[in-house]
Amino acid sequence: MKTKKVVLIIFGLFIIGGWITRVVWLNHTYPDVTREVYEAGDVVELGEDVIYYESMEGYSVRLEGAKVWDYEDFMENYQVSDEIRQEVEEFESIEPPEKVYVLTITLINQDNIETGISFRDWYVQSSDLFLDLNEELYRGANPGIDTVSVALRENSEKTFHLVYNMRKFRFREAVWEEIEQYPMWLSVTAYPTKKMIQVN
């Protein structure tokens, strides 16, 4: 019986030692990305940094403002069409969000003639969660724009309203009560430099 316990303890220590070795190796082999944090109003050059594969060189973004809205107040303020409301509210798997985070950004294209930007790849994050773009409400807040992927002409800029889902079940109760003060960032690039703009 004692031999079995000793073997199990040695085996457990071996597993833990192997796991620690692997974590240390990964951290040395693949160092963390550099992070740059910007404030609202700063012009953030996307440069050669990427989110997935496409370089966004030539594009810049400026966060003009951010506001948390109750769902119904957002729908009324942005005069979202009945068609879009129906799409959101009849979505099969989940209810509409209780609140939304609306970020007003200005996208600037200095000299890119090859690629564009997919807002689907940008996300709002806190230290422990991510908010996803609500594409239907994005269309409602940006009348006449039917896609989350955009390409601007050279030397032009355009303002967009990005709408992110805020669902109560994803937040601790104390955080939800003070959600406007909860620190969050808009992540616009991922690698080699992660560029984030503080939204509140």
pLDDT in tens, 174-192: 999 999 999 999 999 988 8
Sheet with 43-45, edge to edge strand ranges: 43-45, 59-70, 99-109, 156-166
Cis peptide before 31 (omega within 30 of 0): no
Model confidence band, residue 29 (pLDDT cutoffs 50, 70, 90): low
- pLDDT average, residue stretch 61-73: 97
For the chain, percent of residues with pLDDT exceeding 70: 94
Going by their DSSP bridges, the two strands 123-125 and 117-118 should be labelled as unpaired
The tokens of 19 are what?
Answer: 């796991």
Q: Which helix (H) or strand (E) holds 141?
A: helix 135-141
Q: What pLDDT is stored for residue 192 in this prediction?
A: 87
With tokens 């996300």, the residue in question is 123
What share of residues in the chain are helix, strand, coil (percent, to 5)?
Answer: 30, 30, 35
Q: What pLDDT is stored for residue 191 in this prediction?
A: 85
The rounded distance, in Å, linking the Cα atoms of 142 and 79 is 10
Mean pLDDT comparison of 6-20, 52-66, 136-150, highest-scoring range: 136-150
The rounded distance, in Å, linking the Cα atoms of 10 and 16 is 10
Q: What pLDDT is stored for residue 88 in this prediction?
A: 86
The tokens of 125 are what?
Answer: 């994050």
Q: What pLDDT is stored for residue 98 in this prediction?
A: 95
Nearby residues of 184 by Cβ (< 8 Å), 6 or more positions away: 101, 124, 125, 126, 131, 198, 199, 200
